[in-house]
Amino acid sequence: LSANTHSARSALLAFVVAPLLSGTLGCSADIQGQAGGSGSTGSGAGHQGGSAGSAGSSGKGGTSGTSGSAGTPANPDSREVDMRGEPLYSRFLRLTVDQWENSVHDVLRLSAPTGVSQDFQHAVGGTTDFDNNERVVYVDNQAWRDFQAGAEAVALQVTATNAALQAVVAGNDAATFIKTFGRRAFRRELNADEVTAYTNVYTTGTTNAEGTVNAHTKGARYVIMAMLQSPNFLYRMELGDRGAPLSGYEMAAKLSLWIRDTTPTDAMLDAAENGSFDSAAGAAMQATQMLGDPAVARTIRKFNAELHKFALYDSIQKTGVSGWSDALNPEMKEASYLFFDRIFSQGLGVADMLTSTVGFAGPGLAKLYDINLKGSGIQQVDLGRAGYYAQAPFLTLWARNIDPDSIHRGVRINLDTLCAFPGVPNQMLPDIPAPKLNQTNRQVITDLTSGCGKECHGQIINPIGFAFENFDGLGRARSMDNGSPVDTSGSYPFAEGFEDFADSTALMQIIATGSQAHQCWAKKMAGYALERDLVEAERPLVVALGAVSQQGASLKDVMVELVKQDAFRTHVGGAE
């Protein structure tokens, strides 16, 4: 058995059994058992079927009282989407680094990204689903230095000459500049006090700024610097009464920063001012228009990249595997992006992600798929495989060198597509032994995980992973493993109960037909849109959105449906 040397994050993981614990996951599993916070009383864990009483699996606490202690063994026939979370319900959601970059680009009318944010402090990863989660977007010392430096740098850039400033706001009138630029930056109209305050800054600039530009440009330089450092720019705020509808401006900002990853356009702000966002139908219409904006593509890419951990494609490493080269990494990453891009852009839905046979391949992947490409570059092809998980990138990432990493494959699908918590990782993971004569990978893993981790592995993790046993560690199709036929059959306890399947194609069809994947995707996207964790109390929202998706709605339609919901359109959190 040759060594698996791809990145630690994608490390092969033996989710194997050790005495005393029933959960059998390892460090690469991305399992986040969270400690209980302040007082959940908890009904959540019972949905998870998690291992009873394992440290840290007690609920994520929080304010809703819906998460809570683990330990109630779930009914294995009724696995529902994991709804544990730790929302803060913050009303001050700092722009992500990308949102800052995109917004600065837009409010300054730049022709190219500033690049200034390239080395801004990033959000801490690995503790939330997405890097826009309220828990990881705030302003500390380093972030402030970054935002201050960035604001100063771009302001100097666009006021380097008088002509350059005219591209931001034409004319030389201070009030016009402050109101026009301020509206873009603050994503709303400035009030009179603000106009006065920024006029004072403008005046300070006219008399103190260095350089040979005229006084207006100097004043504007200070105003730009100040506005880009203002909390009104750096945070997306929701300041209404709890339960009250968001204002039109708040809705415009929320939608645009979610869907387009940038600040609203002037037209969107006009629409907000005119009340076009005020009703559910109006907001939905605005969202639909935004979803037609080309900028939405970067949002979808970010969402999928974080959900499916595309960054790991940069560091896949294998040793002594024929057919492998590092050049495959970028091709796999881009092919994965393109697959999900197509699902979204073609108006397809969750079921298509799981069952579509259309994929993408360049010259490297074509060899793995054993297909001929007619042109160069990465092309759309019919792979004859059901969905993303049967494609070579996923199968290569979650592999032990040339062997399938059945455990990780199963864990990832549980977590990312079914929102099923597979249990707490094991304490001490023994090595995966080399197979004996004619012993298949499946048999090796089954033997290894047949002890006290049986519940997690035998029912939840392994069956899904084993469905892909007909694909090796490079995603190449195979029918034999170590001299024996592969076995891809299994059974899994879905929300609707146990279902049997013959292989990954059948498995994906079951998942696509059932409710769980649809609800899971809805939960993930809602969390991304709301920039926080969801909790048990919001299960009805997830169920409703999932039902829309399950009936065949496109991803776009599910997103629009979310916009109609009170959970999206009203204030939460705030003073107790």
Partner 1 sequence: VIGKLKLNRRAFLYGAGGVAIGLPYLEGLPERSAWAAGSEPVFAFFMTAACGVEPKRFFPTGTAGSDTLTALLASGEQAVTALKDHAENLIIVRGVNYPQTGPAGCGHAEGLSQALTGRAPRGSGSGAQGSGASVDVVISKAVNPAGTDPITLYSGNLNNGFIEERLSFDDSGKVRPATDNPYKLYMALTGLATPGSGGTGGTGSTGAGGTGAMPTPMASELSIRRKSVNDLVRAELNSLLQNPKCSAADRQRLQQHFDSIRDVENTMAGMGMGAAAGTSSMPVTSATCSMDGIDKPTFDGLSKWRYTKTATGAGGSEQIVLLHMQLVALAFACNYNRVGSLQWGDGTDAAIYDVPSNKSLGWGLHYISHRTASDGALGTNATAEAAHAEIDAVRMTTFAAGLNHFRDRGLADRCVVMWNNHVAEGNHQMKNVPHVIWGNGGGYLKTNQYVDAAGANNATLLNVLISAATGTPTTDFGSSAGKELTAIKAA
Interacting positions 99-128 with partner 1 (CB under 8 A): 116, 119, 121-127
Is residue 8 close enough to count as binding partner 1 by CB under 8 A? yes
Toward partner 1, which CB reaches closer, 152 or 496? 152
Toward partner 1, which CB reaches closer, 152 or 273? 152
Toward partner 1, which CB reaches closer, 113 or 485? 113
How far apart are CB 361 and partner 1 at their closest, in Å?
23
Is residue 135 close enough to count as binding partner 1 by CB under 8 A? yes
Of the residues 41, 208, 325, 491, which one makes contact with partner 1 according to CB under 8 A: 208
Toward partner 1, which CB reaches closer, 49 or 514? 49
Of the residues 65, 71, 458, 573, which one makes contact with partner 1 according to CB under 8 A: 573
How far apart are CB 407 and partner 1 at their closest, in Å?
9
Is residue 473 close enough to count as binding partner 1 by CB under 8 A? no
Give the phi and the psi of residue 399 in degrees, each rounded to 5: -150, 160
How far apart are CB 401 and partner 1 at their closest, in Å?
8
Of the residues 113, 171, 231, 384, which one makes contact with partner 1 according to CB under 8 A: 231
Residues in contact with partner 1, shown as a per-residue x/- string from 140 to 169 under the rule CB under 8 A = xxxxxx--xxx-xx--xx--x---------
What is the spatial distance between Cα 478 and Cα 403, in angstroms, rounded to a whole number?
11
Question: Mind giving me the DSSP string for 234-301?
Answer: HEEE--S-TTSBPPHHHHHHHHHHHHTSSPPPHHHHHHHHTTTTSSHHHHHHHHHHHHTSTTHHHHHH
What is the spatial distance between Cα 224 and Cα 557, in angstroms, rounded to a whole number?
38
Is residue 425 close enough to count as binding partner 1 by CB under 8 A? yes
What is the spatial distance between Cα 355 and Cα 512, in angstroms, rounded to a whole number?
7
Structure tokens at 151: 């604001």
How far apart are CB 82 and partner 1 at their closest, in Å?
13
Tell me, what DSSP letter sits at residue 459? I
Is residue 78 close enough to count as binding partner 1 by CB under 8 A? no
SS3 label, residue 499: strand
Is residue 514 close enough to count as binding partner 1 by CB under 8 A? no
Toward partner 1, which CB reaches closer, 212 or 479? 212
Of the residues 430, 483, 485, 540, which one makes contact with partner 1 according to CB under 8 A: 430
How far apart are CB 186 and partner 1 at their closest, in Å?
10
Site for partner 1 in 432-471 (CB under 8 A): 432
Of the residues 43, 65, 76, 88, which one makes contact with partner 1 according to CB under 8 A: 88
Toward partner 1, which CB reaches closer, 415 or 507? 415
| Residue 445 one-letter amino acid | I
Is residue 397 close enough to count as binding partner 1 by CB under 8 A? no
How far apart are CB 554 and partner 1 at their closest, in Å?
30
Toward partner 1, which CB reaches closer, 315 or 450? 315
Site for partner 1 in 41-70 (CB under 8 A): 54-57
Cα torsion for 306, 308, 313, 317, to the nearest 10°? 120
Of the residues 22, 48, 72, 90, which one makes contact with partner 1 according to CB under 8 A: 90
What is the spatial distance between Cα 277 and Cα 274, in angstroms, rounded to a whole number?
8
CB 268 within 8 A of CB 187: no
Alpha carbon separation from 396 to 219, 321, 378, 406 (Å, rounded): 56, 11, 18, 11
Site for partner 1 in 312-351 (CB under 8 A): 312, 314-315, 319
Site for partner 1 in 272-311 (CB under 8 A): 311
Toward partner 1, which CB reaches closer, 370 or 576? 576
- The single residue listed with the structure tokens 């709605």 is 553
SS3 label, residue 128: coil
- The single residue listed with the structure tokens 């899971």 is 520
Is residue 191 close enough to count as binding partner 1 by CB under 8 A? no
Residue 521: how many CB atoms within 10 A of its CB? 25
Number of residues this chain uses to bind partner 1 (CB under 8 A): 102
Tell me, what DSSP letter sits at residue 570? B
Structure tokens at 172: 């030389």
Of the residues 336, 391, 426, 550, which one makes contact with partner 1 according to CB under 8 A: 426
CB 158 within 8 A of CB 110: yes
Alpha carbon separation from 42 to 429, 519, 534, 535, 540 (Å, rounded): 30, 21, 14, 11, 17
Of the residues 17, 31, 165, 456, which one makes contact with partner 1 according to CB under 8 A: 31
Is residue 197 close enough to count as binding partner 1 by CB under 8 A? yes
| Residue 440 one-letter amino acid | T
Q: Is 214 left (phi over 0), alpha (psi -120 to 50) or beta?
A: beta
How far apart are CB 122 and partner 1 at their closest, in Å?
7
| Residue 229 one-letter amino acid | Q
How far apart are CB 76 and partner 1 at their closest, in Å?
21
Structure tokens at 108: 């300054």
Of the residues 22, 26, 190, 517, which one makes contact with partner 1 according to CB under 8 A: 26
Toward partner 1, which CB reaches closer, 262 or 401? 401
Give the phi and the psi of residue 358 in degrees, each rounded to 5: -80, 130
> Could you give the count of Cα atoms lying within 13 Å of 34 in the half-sphere of its Cβ?
23
Contacts of 194 (CB under 8 A, 6+ apart): 182, 186
Toward partner 1, which CB reaches closer, 153 or 295? 153
